[in-house]
Amino acid sequence: MTTTTGPHPTRRLILQGAASVALLGLGNLPFTAAPARAAANDKYPDEAFKQKNEADAIKALYGKTAEPSDKVKLDAPEIAENGGVVPISVTTTLDKVTSISFFVAENPFALAASYRIPDGTLPSVANRLKMAKTTNVTALVEADGKLYSATKEVKVTVGGCGG
């Protein structure tokens, strides 16, 4: 769909952003055919994207629960400058990362995006989220068969000093 091999670091971010926007809009990001460690990731996760709440979406995608970890670094604004395009990114120092997923707790559908991380790839993903209202954003990292998470509240405001 898009190539992410540009020499320009900014360009790569833009393209990652574009990919995730397309994912949100169409819900059909073609997953690569690389063999996955987790059985849940073998095919396009239709069911997970259909779940309304976060716990159900995580269950449908991974079939297990996550534990919070300070090795998952989620970068998101405290207050969104534009709720329609909220930039977030995740990096992790965990080994053997196989997937990274984003959830927005109170969006109509909680799962926003899920990335497969092939062997030898730096586990670093930037994304943009469309957020209906103030809520928690959670990043999940699947590493060595286990799930780790980081959560941050992102406030979506009507804006203005008021009035």
Partner 1 sequence: MAIRRRDFLKGAGLAAASLSLPRLARGTETASIYELERFGNARILHITDAHAQLNPVYFREPSVNIGIGEMAGRPPHLVGRAFLERFGIRPDSADAYAFTCFEFEKSAGRFGKLGGFAHLKTLVDRLRGDVGEKDSVLVDGGDLWQGTGLANVMQGRDMVEVANLLGIEAMTGHWEFTYGEQVLRDNLERFKGEFLAQNVFLTEEAAFNDARAFDPATGRVFKPSFIKELGGHRVAIVGQAFPYVPIAHPKRFTPDWTFGIREEELQKHVDALRGTDKVDAVILLSHNGMDVDLKLASRVSGIDVILGGHTHDAVPQPIAVKNAGGTTLVTNAGSNGKFLGVLDLALDKGKVSDVRYRLLPVYSELLKPDPAMAELIGRVRAPHVSDWSEKIATPDRLLYRRGNFTGPMDEVICTALRTELDAEIALSPGFRWGVTALSGQALTMEDLLAETAITYPETYVQEMTGAEIKTVLEDVCDNLFNADPYYQQGGDMVRAGGLSYTCTPTDAIGSRISELRLDGGKAISASHRYKVAGWASVNGRQGAPVWDVVGKYLRSGRMLQERLGTGIALKGVDGNPGIAG
Provide the binding-site residues for partner 1, judged by CB under 8 A. Answer: 10-11, 13-14, 17, 75, 77-82, 87, 134, 153, 155, 157-163
Smallest separation (angstroms) from partner 1 to the CB of 64: 30
Whichever of 7 and 30 has its CB closer to partner 1, that residue is 7
Query: Are the beta carbons of 61 and 71 closer than 8 angstroms?
Result: no
Phi first, then psi, for residue 39 (nearest 5°) are -60, -35
Smallest separation (angstroms) from partner 1 to the CB of 2: 14
Smallest separation (angstroms) from partner 1 to the CB of 89: 11
Spatial distance between the Cα atoms of 147 and 31, rounded to a whole number of angstroms: 20
Spatial distance between the Cα atoms of 122 and 162, rounded to a whole number of angstroms: 43
Smallest separation (angstroms) from partner 1 to the CB of 84: 11
Whichever of 70 and 78 has its CB closer to partner 1, that residue is 78
Whichever of 77 and 105 has its CB closer to partner 1, that residue is 77
Whichever of 33 and 161 has its CB closer to partner 1, that residue is 161
Whichever of 112 and 126 has its CB closer to partner 1, that residue is 126
Spatial distance between the Cα atoms of 55 and 119, rounded to a whole number of angstroms: 27
Instruction: Write down the residue that tokens 């909220």 correspond to.
Output: 86
Smallest separation (angstroms) from partner 1 to the CB of 162: 3
Burial 9-29 (b: 16+ CB within 10 A, else e): eeeebebbbebbbebbeeeeb
